[in-house]
Amino acid sequence: MAEAEVKVAFVSNLNGTTVAEVSLGSFLAPLCLLSRGLFLIVFHFCRGVLPLAKGAHLLLDFTMLIMPLVLSCTVLSGILHWVIIGLAVADLFVLFLLYRNKKTSSHGSILSSLDSFVHSHVESNFVPFVTAFRVLVNVKTAISILAVDFSVFPRRYAKTETYGTGVMDFGVGAYVMANALVCPEARGKKIQGSKFSHLVKQLLSVWPLILLGLVRLASVKSTGYHEHVTEYGLHWNFFFTLAIVRVVASALLVVFPVNSSWLMALVISGVYQVVLETTDLKSFITQNGGRNNFVEANREGIFSVVGYIAIYMAGVQAGLYLMQTRTLVKDWIRVVRNLLLGSFGLWLILHMCQTYIEPVSRRMANLSFCMWTVAQSLFFLSCLSIGDIVLLFAKVVSNFSHVSVSWNPSGSSQTEGKLRNKMDMLCLIQSVNRNQLLFFLLANLMTGLTNILVDTLKSNNFFAVCVLLLYMFVNSLAIFILHIKNITIKFW
């Protein structure tokens, strides 16, 4: 068997893991962000001078944000729950020490302090946990697309063949959701000019995705790079899916009110599921028969677009809600509550869908997949928002607010604002956020290069982890350099 065929077999016929295990992973990244923020606060208390050198900030963010995500899906995957518990305990201990230090110079109970905090004001020029969500989905995707080719990556995390819930299955849905959260419609931008000109503009704006899709197609076919055909088909890839989803969603949002996006998501996914159940479409998508024409050759990619459009519309609705201006901490606590209620409600619907209709299928992007993706995304957002609120509390009690990608108490001085801007310019999360598509493209290119240079299937666990860390560091370094030089690669 040829090497490419062996690699395809290595990532084929997998059944995923449980919904609970995927949800467990949602706690890690928020705890890492919280740990990084608390470290900077403690460093300041120990008379450390901020900002650090550029290289020191890069190493700090890489060590505290990227490295744990790499280890969690490789050598630490079997004890992930203990890693999460350990981080949570350590963060709570540091938070307690910060609060106790504050109590030495003030009076009042912890309840009164919490009440004062809940009713305090927060700067509301952006929503940090939405930024973190989008960046972390991108980072986890970058890690997974290479890690899946190594045996150290658990097979249950990889994409499933037809039915199942793998971590990478959630990743593709979450990537669509992440784009929808900050689309112009979700941010309340009004259409400039006629509706037709707006649609033409949206159609033209996706040309980089089409180009990247064509480049990937040409490179895969010309190099003989291994490809799992049942993911998207013979000629299709995720770039084409992203482009079509964006154009179709824009057209729908011109015709229908943006605040009814949730209803469109439900109708699209529901009607699609009815078609799957009442026609031969399901068997056509999942069969292993011939691929004699373009539709047959790319049936997974073509028809799964419908489900991704539904996910995108749900993401627009979530973004529309999250982007509303709120200035009080208690308002954001209410948002956390609603995110949790929304995710639990969708998980209940998911249970009924899997019981009475069919299990989750990324291959078809069926109704269950849409429900699971949105439910898991809302839960991940709620975990990130809770971490942000806890870090904001630490900032208040420590009277130190210079931590990037997090809320700040309102009323900061101009000097503090300048220092925070300097910290933002040295933040790896902000670096990826500035050039997200470029980061995704770079990760794809580096994945292909690594597979050419390294025999991933024969690599031992230690070597595999070292390769993954080096790969992520190179990606991070490239995007960090662009950020500190204030370069945004966007020419469309």
User: CA distances (Å), 99 to each of 31, 95, 395, 398, in order?
Assistant: 18, 6, 10, 8
Rounded-to-integer distance, Cα 415 and Cα 214, Å: 48
Do residues 419 and 402 touch, judged by C-beta distance below 8 A? yes
Q: Which two structure tokens, joined as six digits, stand for 433?
A: 């956020």
CA atoms within 13 A on the CB side of 369: 37
| pLDDT at position 8 | 78
Lowest mean pLDDT among 54-58, 110-114, 342-346: 110-114
Q: How confident is the model at residue 414 (pLDDT cuts 50, 70, 90)?
A: low
The DSSP-derived string for 204-228 is HHTHHHHHHHHHHHHHHHHHT----
C-alpha closest to that of 310 among 173, 149, 213, 475: 173
Task: Give yes or no for a cis peptide into 51 (omega within 30° of 0).
Answer: yes
Tens of pLDDT, residues 248-265: 999 999 989 999 999 999
Do residues 19 and 392 touch, judged by C-beta distance below 8 A? no
Do residues 73 and 141 touch, judged by C-beta distance below 8 A? no
Tens of pLDDT, residues 79-110: 999 999 999 999 999 999 988 887 555 556 77
Question: Among 68-77, 203-212, 452-461, which range has the highest average pLDDT?
Answer: 68-77
| pLDDT at position 428 | 96
For residue 257, what are the contacts with CB-CB under 8 A and spacing of at least 6? none
Helices (H) and strands (E) in the chain, counts: 23, 0
Residue type, 366: N
Rounded-to-integer distance, Cα 162 and Cα 160, Å: 6
Q: Which two structure tokens, joined as six digits, stand for 114?
A: 């919490």
Do residues 392 and 405 touch, judged by C-beta distance below 8 A? no
Q: Tokens 């220092």 sit at which residue?
A: 419
Average pLDDT, the chain: 91
Other beta carbons within 10 Å of 137: 24
Other beta carbons within 10 Å of 389: 21
Q: What is the mean pLDDT of residues 37-42?
A: 94
Does the pLDDT value for residue 179 go beyond 90? yes
Residues in the chain: 492
What are phi and psi for residue 169, nearest 5 degrees? -60, -45
Rounded-to-integer distance, Cα 239 and Cα 274, Å: 27
Q: Return the exposure string of 346-374: e unless at least 16 CB atoms fall within 10 Å of the residue's CB, then b.
A: bbebbeebbeeebbbbbbbbbbbbbbbbb
pLDDT more than 90, % of the chain: 71
Does the pLDDT value for residue 225 go beyond 90? no
Q: pTM for this structure?
A: 0.95
**DSSP state at residue 362:** T
User: CA distances (Å), 214 to each of 238, 265, 267, 410, in order?
Assistant: 11, 29, 32, 47
Rounded-to-integer distance, Cα 407 and Cα 402, Å: 10
| pLDDT at position 415 | 65
Tens of pLDDT, residues 283-341: 999 987 778 899 999 999 999 999 999 999 999 999 999 999 999 999 999 999 999 99
Does the pLDDT value for residue 399 go beyond 70? yes
Question: Among 207-211, 214-218, 322-326, 367-371, which range has the highest average pLDDT?
Answer: 367-371
Give residue limits of the domains in the chain. 3-484
Do residues 137 and 174 touch, judged by C-beta distance below 8 A? yes
267 burial level (CB within 10 Å; 0-12, 13-18, 19+): middle
